[in-house]
Chain A
Amino acid sequence: MAMADQPAGKSFRLSMLLYDTRYRSITIQVIMLTLFVIGVWWLINNMYTNLAIANKAPDFGFLWNPSGYDINQHMIDYSSQSTNARAWLVGLLNTLLVAFLGCILATVLGVFIGVLRLSKNWIISRLMTVYIETFRNVPVLLWILFANSIFIDTLPQPKTFRGENATSHMLWDAFAFTNRGFYIPKPTFGEGYLPVLIVFALSIVAIFIFRKWAYKRQEATGEILPVFWIGVGLFFIPAIVTQLVMGSPIGLEYPALKGFNFKGGFHLRNSLISLWLALSLYTAAFIAEAVRAGIMAINKGQSEAAAALGLRQNRVMSLVVLPQALRVIIPPLISQYLNLTKNSSLAIAVGYMDLTGTLGGITLNQTGRALECILLLMLTYLAISLTISMVMNIYNNSVKLKER
């Protein structure tokens, strides 16, 4: 082995490989690496032997064949004539969608509940404790099934909306909540919609510029501007004015009952909503605990000092406690985001067509390429996880206490 090349000195003996601390770590590492390589080789060799007997070499060609099945929720064009690779992409997008929505809702709920859990109001803090202990102590799979069953069993069927003596009605003629999902209006873009969008984008840029300016001004003069309300105004007013001036090019398409189902509008399927809610509610319980721990970790003197400066209760929270607590909260938050994303693979239990449902489910079943599909599946999840933790770590480093 590589050892023979080592400058061994005058009195090199073989036993020095084990007993001389200079060489021992190298010996151990070489042995470990050899064992590792042999182990991996053994597994791969077995795999090739087994596949050779079945006349099946690993082959990723199936990815470019038509998939043959339909997927109900696809964010890009997809039909049963599309390739398996495209089905994989559709699944990936669906996974990312539910993970993204889930992380947002879970964070909002989690922070809210975590802060409320520390409330001085007894009944509120008790209620939050009950929430946290209920949600985090029951398997998430059960919550997903639960949410799905609630939607299926308690919401009305589309056909009850029909006819003169309908037993269910749409909300404002725009929203329909059925046991096949939620139907909500969808924006339609008519002639001349572009200026409206541009104005809208510009006003968002303006909000940011204004906030920066207001901050600078506060630093300089101590005067606090009503940033929030001006921001809200900037957000809505210019876009609405342009919309009216241009003759309302952006309209809404309302869902309407046609045939078996509602047509038009967005269709948020049951599977998506139940998965999203269950994952968010479950993860929110963990985030709430992290938030609570983060706030508790801040020295009481900090809030007392802030109160002594004359800050009001909510300002103490938002200006002094939360920014410091954030540093403690971020690392567990990252791992909760990762958990949520990984748990979204349980979508298969409610028929949401995520990565596990398409690539690891139907494609695997229909092509029989188990090895290739599961390999790709794991690598995709790994890539997602690494990306999330990379992005979040960059953020974490930016808020970390800079020690000088």
Chain B
Amino acid sequence: MKPEPYVRREMLAPQPAPLGETGILRWMKANLFSGPVNSVISIAAGLFVLYVLYRLLPWAIQPSWNATSLSQCQDDPNITGACWGVIHDRFNQLMFAFYPHELQWRPLLAFGLMFVAIAPVLFDKVPRFLLAFTAMFPLLAIWLLWGGSAWPELMVLAGFFIGYAVHKALVGPAGELTAIILGVLATLLWWIFGVSPVAEMLQGVVPLDITPVESSKFGGLMLSITIGLAGIAFSFPLGIILALGRQSDMFIIKTLSVGYIEFIRGVPLITLLFVASVLLNYFLPRGTNFDLILRVVIMVTLFAAAYMAEVIRGGLAALPKGQYEAADALGLDYWKAMRLIIMPQALKISIPGIVGTFIGLFKDTTLVSIIGLLDPIGLANSIRGTTDWNGIVWELYLFIALMFWVFTFSMSRYSMYLENKLKTTH
């Protein structure tokens, strides 16, 4: 009898994969040591990282948080590296510069409300009536930051209603276009002649003011954020107009837009800031005097508008021609087509570019230190000029770099998230 051939009757229990083919080892094999060259590179890079950390960490990790001057750090035998006391000592200054301590809730509140204001722009689910708040937010922020009477801001706001009322009243008898022109004219006239006296009068009747804060007290990160946000908010409408102007087939309008955009993009921001700080007064009637921060905001707005226009033009150009033709086929006029069909799509495409412009602008606000404003870098210079912190360099710069990094990095990540979310293709 031949022995029965061996046949396994029961299933083998599944074995785990060999050690080298699973988990971290497999991952390392695939990603770090896939070949001799790669292995050498990985080891070298790993050693490099370790070396950098080995040199950096002992310097950075120091019990120096409570030092109140550089010499205190130098005299303390326990402290052999960074003197972080300067950040602790001057933290409030780096954030708010000389903004009065008891009023600092105002910029913080304005900053917080900003998120409420941009929410309806970014998310569809937020109730629509909040858009009205978005429109009012710039004026509210100005009032919160600078303080003083609220009446001028309210009266500027009233200008919009006056324009709307004039338009409403005239649209019947005089026709659409005339009504629009007269409405805009009425608003401008009100702003130029009406706002100041009426606001002054109303302030006399019903005082509506909070403690005013001078611009010279502004500074620190607060100033960077203020200039950055104001620049982007005001440059956005201007950028749309310029982009449309550049796309326009009216020769003069196109030429003016192109000339403006190319001029601004051809010169460095610092020269425009020089104009703001040195020359602007020459171009305005004698005795006109408004403060440097406002002049800077105006220049930054004009600067960012040119870049914004290019971003939006990219969005307009990226739209398929069919969209324009479809809008025409529906019989929509230019503004209706733009408002209902073209712009919503073009702006959606441009969002990453707009965020990119904003990040660039936010970083560029550091340039105001060159014309003497106290942004974080300007403050770093003045802190280094004091007897206590004379000679401190790295700690301040690192901290400032970190502040900017946190903001810009999170914005760029957010823009990537938006890009993915808004993708309508598959």
A43 to B279, CA, bound (A): 11
B278 within 8 A of A: yes
Contact B256 A32 (CB under 8 A): yes
A32 to B248, CA, bound (A): 13
Contact A374 B377 (CB under 8 A): no
- Expressed in whole angstroms, the minimum distance between the Cβ of A45 and any Cβ of chain B is 9
Contacts of B405 in A (CB 8 A): 134, 137-138
- Expressed in whole angstroms, the minimum distance between the Cβ of B26 and any Cβ of chain A is 13
B108 within 8 A of A: no
Determine, out of B34-42, B142-150, B324-332, the stretch whose residues face the partner at the interface: B34-42
A367 within 8 A of B: no
A257 within 8 A of B: no
B351 within 8 A of A: no
Contact A120 B282 (CB under 8 A): no
Mask for A332-344, Cβ within 8 A of B = 1, else 0?
A: 0000001000110
Out of A28, A50, A382, which one reaches B263, CB within 8 Å? A382
B274 within 8 A of A: yes
Q: List 10 A-B contacts (CB under 8 A).
A: A28-B253, A33-B256, A46-B284, A122-B32, A123-B46, A127-B45, A141-B377, A338-B265, A381-B266, A382-B263
B408 within 8 A of A: yes
Contacts of B263 in A (CB 8 A): 382
Determine, out of A74-82, A145-153, A223-231, A300-308, the stretch whose residues face the partner at the interface: A145-153
A53 within 8 A of B: yes
For chain A, the count of residues having a C-beta within 8 Å of the partner chain is: 53
Contact B268 A122 (CB under 8 A): no
Contacts of A146 in B (CB 8 A): 397, 401
Contacts of B377 in A (CB 8 A): 139, 141-142, 145
Out of B250, B266, B400, which one reaches A25, CB within 8 Å? B250
A256 to B408, CA, bound (A): 46
Contact A381 B397 (CB under 8 A): no
Out of A44, A49, A123, A142, which one reaches B401, CB within 8 Å? A142
Out of B31, B251, B370, which one reaches A348, CB within 8 Å? B370
Q: B263, B270, B278, B285 — which one has the most chain A CB atoms within 10 A of its CB? A: B270
Contact A32 B252 (CB under 8 A): yes
A356 within 8 A of B: yes
A371 within 8 A of B: yes
Contact A139 B404 (CB under 8 A): yes
Contact A349 B370 (CB under 8 A): yes
Contacts of B269 in A (CB 8 A): 342
Contact A140 B363 (CB under 8 A): yes
Contact B367 A141 (CB under 8 A): yes
Q: Select from chain B the residue with minimum beta-carbon distance to A26.
A: B250
- Expressed in whole angstroms, the minimum distance between the Cβ of B417 and any Cβ of chain A is 15
User: Interface residues of B: mostly helix, strand, loop or mixed?
Assistant: helix
Contacts of B34 in A (CB 8 A): 120-121
> Knowing A345-B270, A382-B267 touch, does A149 contact B393 (C-beta < 8 A)?
yes
B134 within 8 A of A: no
Q: Select from chain B the residue with minimum beta-carbon distance to A25.
A: B250
Contact A18 B178 (CB under 8 A): yes
Contact B271 A381 (CB under 8 A): yes
Contacts of B267 in A (CB 8 A): 342, 378, 381-382, 385
Mask for B258-288, Cβ within 8 A of A = 1, else 0?
A: 0000110111111100110011011111100
Q: Select from chain B the residue with minimum beta-carbon distance to A152.
A: B393
Q: A30, A123, A342 — which one has the most chain B CB atoms within 10 A of its CB? A: A123
Contact B42 A123 (CB under 8 A): yes
Contacts of B265 in A (CB 8 A): 338, 385
> Knowing A123-B46, A153-B393 touch, does A343 contact B366 (C-beta < 8 A)?
no
Q: A142, A346, A385 — which one has the most chain B CB atoms within 10 A of its CB? A: A142
A352 to B405, CA, bound (A): 26
B364 within 8 A of A: yes
- Expressed in whole angstroms, the minimum distance between the Cβ of A58 and any Cβ of chain B is 10
- Expressed in whole angstroms, the minimum distance between the Cβ of B206 and any Cβ of chain A is 37
From 38 to 61 in chain A, residues with beta carbon under 8 angstroms from any chain B beta carbon are 43-44, 46-47, 49-51, 53
- Expressed in whole angstroms, the minimum distance between the Cβ of B372 and any Cβ of chain A is 13
A32 to B252, CA, bound (A): 8
Contacts of B367 in A (CB 8 A): 141, 346
A167 to B31, CA, bound (A): 44
A120 to B178, CA, bound (A): 64
Contact B268 A342 (CB under 8 A): yes
From 215 to 265 in chain A, residues with beta carbon under 8 angstroms from any chain B beta carbon are none
Contacts of A124 in B (CB 8 A): 41-42, 45
A96 within 8 A of B: no
> Knowing A127-B45, A381-B266 touch, does A137 contact B177 (C-beta < 8 A)?
no
Contacts of B414 in A (CB 8 A): none
Contacts of A44 in B (CB 8 A): 283
Contact A46 B283 (CB under 8 A): yes
Contacts of A349 in B (CB 8 A): 370
- Expressed in whole angstroms, the minimum distance between the Cβ of A270 and any Cβ of chain B is 14
Contact B45 A360 (CB under 8 A): no
A137 to B413, CA, bound (A): 11
Contacts of A381 in B (CB 8 A): 266-268, 271
- Expressed in whole angstroms, the minimum distance between the Cβ of B71 and any Cβ of chain A is 17
Contacts of B363 in A (CB 8 A): 137-140
Contact A142 B409 (CB under 8 A): no
- Expressed in whole angstroms, the minimum distance between the Cβ of B21 and any Cβ of chain A is 17
